[in-house]
């Protein structure tokens, strides 16, 4: 083991020791720092100033109680989180996740990833994340409103458009953002539009924000294929999930001439050999809030596979757009064996380390989430620009800016991978490119 490798291993062991039981955070840290050896050899000052160790320690971690009353009048208690991970490049920026699985380790994993995702966009954004173990599924609008108001009653004191700017994530959509902003406005007596992103375009939100993560993932996949002299036209695709990211990834894939044959939710998979009807998925998920199994009510020629995996369905392009660690080594081997040529991650860390290893050892083009799904936060930054300038951009202009940003992200990853001796390896390219952006700012600011 070289001196650089030993130093990196020591840093990781310290992270595990200081953050016990937070397996997702450990996984995210290891995935990044294992690729940074070449950067440390080229820039010994990063090691001397302990930049990696400092990046792995959040600047602030906030945990708070969220009491609220359900429709029966019973008091419920949840836990709220906000972790500001790194603000070297700008105010903390990252979503809020409302899901029963949320605990500090999940929030730190997401916040750590967000630092690098935000850096690689080239926008002036730091990285953070937040959320709660509250589950909005099955709750009435009134219950969701009361929870959001209680949550913001504590969170408001920690955020602001030049300090920390939350957005949505799993379980936090336009409804929740509206309730959160309403309470923030009520408490602070300020119409500070830029304090939250993902808002409705009717009151300060950016057009394309809803579509941005899914569209951006497809744009990244398109650029990976272009680099290989190929395109999405006519390709057979599968997309995991059927939430916001998956829906708009499917939409953009269809616009670019691809055929999507499968999508999913947490209960099972819909396989429609003739092609998924997106209007039906939107009706089920965005309006009726029903399960994907109900797709077959409208399309009896489709097949619903209870507990199935989209990765078992032969395809050329696969987009994991659901949640972390949904695609393991076995699923990755199945995709490769079935002729998959590209994977672009629409979710955060959806592929396990074993799955990533399979992809990197094959000839498949693999776009990691910190690069491929950065379109959401990039468009959040565009929303912040519009709020700051009191401006209102068209859908076409905002989408063009998104496309330009995703093309730039791909170029940065592609060129950095080649510079450090790993051409075509977007994991190394994304990690080192993003790390350098953050590290240079941290060096400039001194030991803080």
**Is residue 213 marked as binding?**
yes
**Is residue 114 marked as binding?**
yes
**Is residue 422 marked as binding?**
no
- Decide if 60-188 and 211-372 have a common fold: yes
Q: Which of 30, 50, 129, 139 is catalytic?
A: 129
Quote the pLDDT of residue 5.
Answer: 87
CATH 3.30.470.20 assigned to 211-372: no
Alpha-helix runs per DSSP H in 189-275: 209-226, 244-255
Quote the pLDDT of residue 324.
Answer: 87
Encoded tokens for 255: 């616009």
**CA-to-CA dists, residue 343 to 299, 320, 335, angstroms:** 28, 8, 9
Q: Which residues contact 250 (CB under 8 A, 6 or more apart)?
A: 214, 239, 260, 263, 276, 278, 281
Angle of CA points 202, 208, 211, to nearest 5°:
120
Encoded tokens for 258: 């691809």
Quote the pLDDT of residue 289.
Answer: 84
Sign of CA dihedral 389, 131, 164, 322: negative
Q: Is the distance from CB of 296 to CB of 304 less than 8 angstroms?
A: yes
Q: Which residues contact 45 (CB under 8 A, 6 or more apart)?
A: 443
Question: Domain-by-domain residue ranges, the chain?
Answer: 3-56, 60-188, 211-372
Quote the pLDDT of residue 3.
Answer: 84
Separation CA 209–CA 444 (nearest Å):
33
Quote the pLDDT of residue 175.
Answer: 93
Separation CA 146–CA 168 (nearest Å):
17
Phi/psi for 115 (5° steps) reads -55, -45
**CA-atom Rg of the chain in angstroms:** 21
Count Cβ neighbours within 10 Å for each residue of 12-28 and write b for 16 or more, e otherwise: beebeeebeebebbbbb
pTM of the model: 0.90
Residue 370 is a catalytic residue = no
* CATH no. of 60-188: 3.40.50.10860
Using CB atoms within 10 A of its CB, is residue 97 exposed (0-12), middle (13-18) or buried (19+)? buried
Q: What share of the chain is helix, strand, coil (3-state, %, to 5)?
A: 50, 15, 30
- Max intra-chain CA distance, the chain: 63
pLDDT along the chain (448 residues), means of 10: 87 96 95 92 92 96 98 98 98 97 96 95 96 96 98 98 94 94 98 95 92 97 98 98 96 98 96 98 92 96 96 98 94 98 95 96 95 94 94 95 97 97 96 96 96
**CA-to-CA dists, residue 380 to 135, 193, 395, 408, angstroms:** 24, 12, 14, 17
Quote the pLDDT of residue 349.
Answer: 87
**Is residue 76 marked as binding?**
no
Sign of CA dihedral 386, 388, 391, 392: positive
CB atoms within 10 A of CB 173: 17
Quote the pLDDT of residue 352.
Answer: 95
**Is residue 380 marked as binding?**
yes
Phi/psi for 257 (5° steps) reads 90, 10
**Is residue 168 marked as binding?**
yes
**Is residue 387 marked as binding?**
no
Separation CA 62–CA 155 (nearest Å):
9
């Amino acid at each position: 083991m070289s001196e650089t490798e030993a130093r990196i291993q020591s840093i990781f062991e310290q992270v595990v020791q200081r953050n016990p039981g937070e397996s997702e955070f450990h996984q995210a840290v290891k995935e990044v720092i294992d690729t940074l050896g070449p950067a440390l050899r080229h820039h010994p000052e990063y090691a001397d100033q302990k930049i990696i160790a400092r990046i792995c320690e959040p600047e602030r971690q906030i945990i708070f109680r969220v009491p609220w009353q359900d429709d029966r009048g019973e008091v419920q208690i949840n836990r709220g989180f906000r972790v500001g991970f790194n603000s070297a490049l700008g105010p903390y920026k990252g979503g809020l996740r409302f899901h029963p699985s949320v605990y500090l380790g999940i929030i730190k994993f997401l916040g750590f990833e967000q630092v690098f995702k935000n850096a690689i966009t080239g926008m002036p954004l730091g990285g953070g994340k937040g959320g709660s173990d509250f589950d909005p599924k099955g709750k009435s609008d009134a219950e969701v409103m009361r929870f959001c108001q209680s949550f913001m009653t504590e969170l408001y004191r920690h955020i602001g458009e030049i300090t920390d700017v939350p957005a949505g994530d799993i379980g936090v959509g336009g409804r929740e953002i509206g309730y959160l902003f309403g309470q923030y406005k009520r408490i602070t007596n300020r119409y500070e539009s830029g304090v939250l992103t993902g808002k409705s375009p009717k009151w300060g939100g950016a057009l394309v924000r809803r579509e941005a993560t899914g569209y951006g993932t497809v744009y990244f996949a398109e650029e990976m294929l272009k680099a290989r002299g190929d395109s999405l036209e006519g390709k057979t695709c599968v997309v995991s999930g059927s939430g916001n990211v998956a829906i708009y990834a499917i939409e953009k894939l269809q616009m670019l001439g691809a055929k999507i044959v499968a999508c999913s939710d947490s209960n099972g998979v819909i396989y429609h050999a003739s092609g998924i009807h997106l209007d039906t998925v939107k009706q089920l998920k965005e309006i009726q809030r029903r399960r994907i199994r109900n797709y077959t009510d409208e399309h009896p020629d489709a097949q619903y596979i209870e507990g199935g995996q989209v990765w078992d369905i032969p395809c050329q392009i696969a987009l994991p757009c659901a949640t972390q660690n949904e695609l393991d080594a076995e699923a990755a081997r199945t995709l490769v064996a079935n002729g998959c040529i590209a994977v672009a991650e629409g979710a955060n860390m959806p592929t396990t380390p074993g799955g990533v290893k399979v992809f990197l050892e094959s000839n498949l083009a693999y776009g990691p989430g910190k690069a491929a799904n950065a379109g959401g936060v990039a468009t959040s930054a565009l929303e912040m620009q519009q709020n700051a300038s009191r401006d209102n951009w068209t859908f076409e202009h905002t989408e063009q800016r998104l496309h330009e940003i995703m093309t730039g992200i791909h170029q940065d990853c592609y060129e950095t991978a080649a510079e450090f001796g790993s051409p075509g390896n977007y994991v190394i390219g994304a990690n080192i490119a993003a790390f350098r952006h953050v590290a240079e700012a941290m060096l400039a600011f001194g030991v803080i």
